[in-house]
Amino acid sequence: MKKRVILSLLLGVLPLISLRAQDGFDTVKLDDYLSRLEKQNKAMLGVVITRDGKTEYEQYIGFASVEDSVRNNGLTKFRIGSISKMFTATIIFQLVEEGTLSLDTKLAKFFPQIPNAAEISIADLLGHTSGIHNFTSDAEYSGYMTKKKSKEEMLALMAKNKPDFTPGEKTAYSNSNYVLLGYIIEKITRSPYKQELEERICSRLNLANTHYGGKIDPGNNDAASYRYSQGTWILQPETDMSIPHGAGAISSTPEDLTTFINAFFSNTLISETSLNHMKPEKQALGKGLIRFPFGTRIAYGHNGGIDGFVSNLAYFPDEKVAVAVTANGMNYQFNDILIGILSIYFTLPFEIPDFSAEPVHLESSELTRYEGEFSSEELPLTITLKVDKGQLYGQATGQSAFPLTPFSRMEFRFDPAGIIIKFSRDKEKNPLYNSFTLYQGGAVLQFKKR
């Protein structure tokens, strides 16, 4: 729910058991990748991949409850954060198809106290073009996120903020839009969102492990969420589900999520016309759907993050492949894990990182040899390397400096952003200080010293 800002230069373990793939991708390699992530405490998550609705791969690593030593498994329910928006948008389009709502209906019909309500349409809420301020961006959010809030209190919170822009002027992601859409569903149907979710989606698709979330209960196969610090997984606070509501209150499993998105794209839940309304075309954000490029392939779905949970649900229409990854503990870039999973599945080149590598110490006199301005012919970006108080820093054009940790005389890393810099070397395997290769998020870029 709450955005996490990271640097972006570009955009003793139990045996693993997996289902074999029908199309012959390297399941052993994917098992190995996930196993290494677990052994080095990089992630705790579940993965399901389907093709034509049939499961080709399923895997779980880490613990649903570290304290009780309960491992993640096929019945573990993860909070999915903003993937909930896909469910909310689906119900809204069902109401549109039933004739009880239209995309042009104004917010003022339901909640006139929200600024600009008379100009904000249902379509604006769905597509994040309303201009309504995102309440989770406020500093005070972290002070009340774990406490129960009534609908009236949430409406008052959203009503007090000035609009960020005029409705329709631009697109800006705001959780407020989907909390309001959840409330609108309740007003129109005169029943709780939880009940509409169950009747309109979960029961129809037999999603036995998908529901409107409550307090996390390990005895009910609910995963708790964690962050990793100083050699241990630390339990994270729980957002009270009265706050995210239709924007992020659903819990589910990777299996249920792939069932949902397969049904979604086969028009089981909404019509082809509604699906086309939801799809973004060239931009990333649509009306409840996000467009994900992966190389030459295009997927649609949504991602999510709440507390220590991170998740992604994607469907590749051309290949009829659905991928769900739900995590309850991350000590590595989630996007890099997705890239690794998809690269292995689609048999693209991917080298499993050596997570066991340890940092090395280099003297300041050695580090200064790496200093300089480096540019790439592949994109207009300059990276400056400079030593300050015995620490080598990198700084990309227009961005803040970031520390680079040496893992050898050739390799430096900045793990929070998944950045690896590898310097070229001569025949004697000594570094050539005038060029390096940068790896991040699947990108491989060559840089030379000016």
- Hey, where are the domains in the chain? 1-356, 364-449
pLDDT at 380 exceeding the cut of 90: no
pLDDT for the residue numbered 23: 52
Residue 340 has pLDDT above 90, yes or no: yes
> Is the pLDDT assigned to residue 12 strictly greater than 70?
no
Measured CA distances, 16 to 32, 78, 286 (Å): 9, 20, 37
Burial of 42 (0-12, 13-18, 19+ CB in 10 A): buried
Q: Are strands 226-229 and 321-330 parallel, antiparallel or unpaired?
A: parallel
The per-residue pLDDT for 54 is 97
- Residue 280: CB atoms within 10 Å: 16
For residue 444, the tally of other CB atoms under 10 A from its CB is: 12
Res. 20: pLDDT tops 80: no
Confidence band for 345, pLDDT divided at 50, 70 and 90: very high
- Which whole number is the average pLDDT over 313-317? 98
pLDDT for the residue 9: 36
Side-chain-side CA neighbours of residue 437 (13 Å) = 8
The pLDDT value given to residue 415: 77
| Range from 3-12, 178-187, 407-416 carrying the lowest mean pLDDT | 3-12
Question: For tokens 């058991």, what's the residue?
Answer: 17
Separation between Cα atoms, residue 295 and residue 187, nearest integer Å: 42
Residue 176 dihedral angles phi and psi, to the nearest 5° = -55, -40
* DSSP notation for 68-124: TTEEP-TT-BEE-GGGHHHHHHHHHHHHHHHTS--TT-BGGGT-TTSTTTTT-BHHH
Q: Greater confidence, 1 or 306?
A: 306
Q: What is the pLDDT of residues 123-153, one digit of tens each?
A: 999 999 999 999 999 999 999 999 999 999 9
E strands present in 17-75: 43-51, 54-61, 63-65, 70-71
pLDDT at 6: 31
Whether the Cβ atoms of residue 392 and residue 370 lie closer than 8 Å to each other: yes
pLDDT class for 8, splitting at 50, 70, 90? very low
Question: Confidence band (pLDDT; 50, 70, 90) for 11?
Answer: very low
Residue 22 has pLDDT above 50, yes or no: no
User: What's domain 1-356's architecture?
Assistant: 3-Layer(aba) Sandwich (3.40)
Among candidate residues 247, 304, 346, 274, the one with its CA nearest the CA of residue 49: 346
Tell me 246's DSSP state.
G
pLDDT at residue 59, as a whole number: 98
Q: Please say if the pLDDT value at position 15 is more than 70.
A: no
Q: Flag whether pLDDT at 46 surpasses 50.
A: yes
Strand, helix or coil at 328?
A: strand
pLDDT mean across residues, the chain: 92
Lowest-pLDDT range, 112-126, 302-316, 333-347? 333-347
Q: Which tens digit of pLDDT belongs to each residue from 258-286?
A: 999 999 999 999 999 999 999 997 789 99
Percent of the chain surpassing pLDDT 90 = 82
pLDDT at 420 over 60: yes
Which residue in the block uniquely carries the two structure tokens 């300050």? 388
Mean pLDDT, to the nearest integer, of 346-366?
A: 89
pTM for the full predicted model: 0.83
- What pLDDT does residue 14 have? 35
Per-residue pLDDT band for 428 (boundaries 50, 70, 90) equals confident
Give me the numbers of helices (H) and strands (E) for the chain, helices first please.
12, 21
For domain 364-449, give its CATH number from 3.40.190.10, 2.40.128.50, 3.40.720.10, 2.30.110.10.
Answer: 2.40.128.50
pLDDT at 355: 83
With both helix axes pointing from N to C terminus, report the angle between 27-39 and 334-345 in degrees, rounded to the nearest 10. 160
